[in-house]
Amino acid sequence: MANVKEYSVEEKLSSLVSLQKIDSKLDEIQVLKGELPMEVSDLEDEIQGLHARQLRIEEEINGITEFIEQKKTAIKDALELEKKYEKQSENVKNNREFEAINKEIEMQQLEVKLCEKHIRDANEEIAEKAVALEKAKKAISSKEGVLNSKKGELEKIIATTEKEETHFNKLADSAKKHVDPRLHTSYDKIRNNYRNGLAVVPVERDACGGCFYSIPPQKQSEIKQRKKIMVCENCGRILVDSDLNDTVEVK
Ligand SMILES: [Zn+2]
């Protein structure tokens, strides 16, 4: 086992402050990175959904176009039949036959009209779908623009934070060596309890810098003496005087 140097309370406190400041820097980096990857993946999901929508609309348009082609063929068939019946009507033998053929001709004319109406309706439907398709395509291109800029931003952050992160992680490792394990464990526990990750806070304007609970003058002077580790009775954070807090700089 290595020699364990006995540190004074003041030294312990200043090591804790420096560890806190380093960890806060690392927290800031995490916050910066933490939101962009989520935004990027949300955008990717949205774009994927829009592409699926685009594909669906295109398939619907294809389906309607096919329907129109079928109706066009049906019109052609009906017109041919009509022609055939008209030819037949030239050689009818009696009135009954003539009427029967006329009925067939009317049927074919009706069929043509019906098909034409179906085609008109289908064309209207296609026009509506085309508007929706255009909308989806525009949304895709605008979201893709946002995605690209967010991706670029994230890459830049990663490129710069990688260096910072390595740097602060190194500092954190060496700062940890100056904090005894028990103190470090409670420091970690307190840090994990709070979203802002603050376990060591200065007394500011007669109050705890973490929860703003007021600190009585007697306790404040004890804190200033740096002879004991003092904690806020409200939030449990380790308290240091603001002078000590200010002397510790982390770069
Ligand atoms: Zn507090």
Q: For residue 169, how far is its CA from the centre of ligand 1 (angstroms)?
A: 27
Ordered alpha helix ranges (H), the chain: 9-89, 95-177, 181-193, 217-225, 242-247
Q: How far apart are CA 232 and CA 218, in angstroms?
A: 13
pLDDT of 37 above 90: no
SS3 of residue 133 by DSSP: helix
CA distances (Å), origin 191, targets 79, 177, 194, 198: 85, 18, 6, 5
In the predicted model, is pLDDT for residue 4 greater than 90? no
**Cα 209 to ligand 1 centroid, rounded to whole Å:** 7
C-alpha of residue 212 to centroid of ligand 1, in Å: 6
CA of 29 to the centre of ligand 1 (A): 25
- Per-residue tokens: 160: 């710069």
Distance from Cα 181 to the centre of ligand 1, integer Å: 23
Strands 200-204 and 238-240: parallel
Residue 182 and residue 12: Cα distance in Å, rounded? 12
* Measured CA distances, 59 to 37, 65, 121, 140, 237 (Å): 33, 10, 18, 18, 62
Calculate how far, in angstroms, residue 66's C-alpha sits from the geometric centre of ligand 1: 72
> How far is it, in rounded angstroms, from Cα 2 to Cα 109?
104
Q: What is the whole-number distance in angstroms between the Cα of residue 207 and the centre of ligand 1?
A: 8
CA dihedral (174, 176, 181, 183) positive or negative: positive
Which residue in the block uniquely carries the two structure tokens 């909308």? 135
Q: Ligand 1 center to residue 184 CA distance, Å?
A: 19
Q: Convert the pLDDT of each residue in 223-243 to its tens digit.
A: 999 999 999 999 999 999 999
Low-confidence winner among 23-32, 164-173, 235-244 (lowest mean pLDDT): 23-32
pTM over 0.85: no
**Rounded CA separation 114/120 (Å):** 10
pLDDT range class, residue 5, cuts 50, 70, 90:
low
**Longest C-alpha distance within the chain, in Å?**
129
Which pLDDT does position 1 carry in this prediction? 44
Are the C-beta atoms of 75 and 112 separated by less than 8 Å? yes
For residue 81, CA distances in Å to 78, 96, 103, 146, 248 come to: 5, 19, 12, 59, 98
Percent of the chain with pLDDT over 70: 98
pLDDT band with cut points at 50, 70 and 90 for residue 33: confident
CA of 202 to the centre of ligand 1 (A): 10
Alpha carbon of 219 to ligand 1 centroid (Å): 13
Across 87-95, average pLDDT:
89
